[in-house]
Structure 1
Amino acid sequence: MASGSPRILVWDFAIRLVHWLMVLLVPLLWWTAEEGLMDWHRRLGLTMFGLVLFRLIWGLIGTWTARFLPMVKRIGSLKSYVGKLQKRDYAPTFGHSPLAVLSVFALLLALATQVTTGLFSVDVDGLESGPLAVLVSFDTGRQFAEIHEFNFNLLAALIGLHIVAIAVYHFVVKERLVRPMITGGRPRSDFSGEELPENRLRPMPMMVAITLSLISIVAISSFG
């Protein structure tokens, strides 16, 4: 890596903030549920709902590395990418690698399922429930609660796999994935002079995504 190489934006501020807030919220949601702190569990759950919704919207209108369409296109090169990894012919990817795309989609699906089922869940006594549980029957709310519990185990497994993958990249491939997710940037020289897509900040779309997420949280809270 050439010293003094200009740095370019890989991960915008919104992606990084949402990522690390999710990292913080998942164990807090687990802990509040285990300790029976359901008022806090609901508040944190609504916060997670807002983060997931923002990420889904940002995946449509955000910066290039945040958008889903370029990520989907990357999946087509999965076989080639894995073959290069096996041959130790590795080169950094601008944005998500094909393997990372699969991880992101799996985690977002699991998180979306978790927050959605939590909104409609009802406990066995019918005393604690999600804010939208009033819209479904008790039996349906219980089904949502069972999916909610099962899905958390799946989510935990996906998070564990994600952490293992980061460790493998760090120690085996010698690719530091965590630092760019903190700073947002990487030296331009990491990408071997290849032509990169425009990845500029988009303040107005970001405000739209934030506004829609906040309105949704307020609307759901009104049912509680």
Structure 2
Amino acid sequence: MPIAVNNAGYGVLVPLAPPSTAQPEARSAAGGLVRVRVWDLPTRTFHWALAASLAGLAATGYAGGAWMEWHARLGSVTLALLLFRIVWGFIGGKWSRFASFLPTPGRVLAYLREQDDPRQHAGHNPLGALSVLAMLAVVMAQLLTGMAGDDGGGFTGPLNDRVSQAVGAIANVLHKQIGQWLLLALVLLHVAAIAFYRIVRRQKLVQAMVDGDRLLPARASVPASRDDAVTRAKAFAVLCACAALVGWLVGY
């Protein structure tokens, strides 16, 4: 413990300040990080709605029986969500657009070699982008094969009457024996990646998908995604149009 001398000439014991227990991200925040809106509300809502829908689809699908009607309804809801995300990938906030995270070979290699510009992936990094696109593609395939399939046990998808019996049988095999396991693998990979970035790289990806913001270096001058009343009204209109299209497609 160091000794200081007061005005009277007496030595005074001065306690040392306790060591900082702040997280690296919190310490950096005082040294040049700014809060940037990366994920707009429509994107965040889609993300959690899709997660809930997939959980519901898994539960109703494995329950079977009378729950298959709800399985089909949830499939229609999920298809509307997916169509919304595809459209939003072209007209949504900056970091929700596919153009902002398209994982070209050059971007992926630069990221793996740590030679990339972090400003290019304030949203999804190239590896995360590959995961997102794979997830969207597999979910879409699961939805279409489920809607066209015939399980041979009395349940047929809402689009089964528009395909041949052979196509319906193939769709059922793809849906049950391949697609569900591929989708499960992608979900587990997604969760593992979130845990890795939280524990190893100290990046709070889940929190960013809740409040929409990330702490980024001020010197990087990362542009924010637009997230205002106009954006949300536009998203609601797109979602309604997608829901109407799915309703027409499945005959609701």
TM-score normalised by length of structure 1? 0.88
Deviation at 1:138, TM superposition (A): 1.9
- Give the Cα separation in 1 of the matches to 2:126 and 2:98: 12
- 1:174-189 paired onto structure 2 within 5 Å: 174-187=202-215
Deviation at 1:74, TM superposition (A): 6.1
- 1:31-70 paired onto structure 2 within 5 Å: 31-36=59-64, 37-70=67-100
Deviation at 1:103, TM superposition (A): 0.7
Aligned partner of 2:156 among 123, 129, 134: 129
What amino acid maps onto 1:213 in structure 2? C
Taking every aligned residue pair, what percent have the same amino acid on both sides? 32
Residue in structure 2 matched with residue 110 of structure 1 by the alignment: 138
Deviation at 1:91, TM superposition (A): 5.9
What amino acid maps onto 1:83 in structure 2? R
| Rg larger in structure | 2
Unmatched tracts of structure 2, length 5 or more: 1-27
Residue in structure 2 matched with residue 17 of structure 1 by the alignment: 45
Judge conservation of contact 1:91–1:191 (CA < 8 Å) in 2.
Answer: no
Residue in structure 1 matched with residue 112 of structure 2 by the alignment: 82
What amino acid maps onto 2:168 in structure 1? G
- SS of 1:175's partner is coil
Deviation at 1:6, TM superposition (A): 5.3
Deviations 1:23-52 (A, max 9, x none): 112122111111111111011111111111
Unmatched tracts of structure 1, length 5 or more: none
1:160 equivalenced with 2:173 (yes/no)? no
Deviation at 1:119, TM superposition (A): 1.4
- 1:199-218 paired onto structure 2 within 5 Å: 199-201=225-227, 202-203=231-232, 205-218=234-247
| More moved, 190-199 vs 21-30 | 190-199
Residue in structure 2 matched with residue 194 of structure 1 by the alignment: 220
Deviations 1:37-74 (A, max 9, x none): 11110111111111111111111111111111221166
Deviations 1:64-104 (A, max 9, x none): 1111122116653222222239xxx9968411111111111
Judge conservation of contact 1:131–1:221 (CA < 8 Å) in 2.
Answer: yes
Deviations 1:107-164 (A, max 9, x none): 0111111111111111114x21111111012221111111111111101001111111
Q: 1:171 to 1:18 in 2, by over 3 A?
A: same
RMSD: 2.4
Judge conservation of contact 1:61–1:205 (CA < 8 Å) in 2.
Answer: no
- Give the Cα separation in 1 of the matches to 2:118 and 2:86: 28
Judge conservation of contact 1:74–1:101 (CA < 8 Å) in 2.
Answer: no
- Give the Cα separation in 2 of the matches to 1:167 and 1:41: 30
Higher share of residues assigned helix: 1
